[in-house]
Amino acid sequence: MPKYDINDPTDLDIMRANFDIITHREWDHYITLATEKNMGPKNIGILQMASRKAGISKYLSPKVINWVLELVEELEEESE
């Protein structure tokens, strides 16, 4: 996953778009994977919060979106 600059408007738009294309079903899958891998309550909690905000990234801070996308990338790499 590329490193995003949360202060760059272009990177923010890319991050928000990447977040918004993840469906509720995919979030449930990521939450299940994180729980199975014991990723910790903070990481699982942020994934659950992201699931509730699926498709509406405008209500999340850039730091939270970046954190969630990094977790998703980590989970995808481990599941392959």
What torsion, rounded to 10 degrees, do the Cα atoms 18, 19, 23, 27 define? 120
Average model confidence (pLDDT) across the chain? 92
CB atoms within 10 A of CB 21: 11
pLDDT tens for each residue of 54-67: 989 989 999 999 99
The string of DSSP letters for 8-61 reads -HHHHHHHHHHHHT--HHHHHHHHHHHHHTT--HHHHHHHHHHHHTTT-GGGS-
pTM for the structure as a whole = 0.89
Which of 18, 39, 1 has its CA nearest to residue 47?
39
Domain ranges of the chain: 9-79
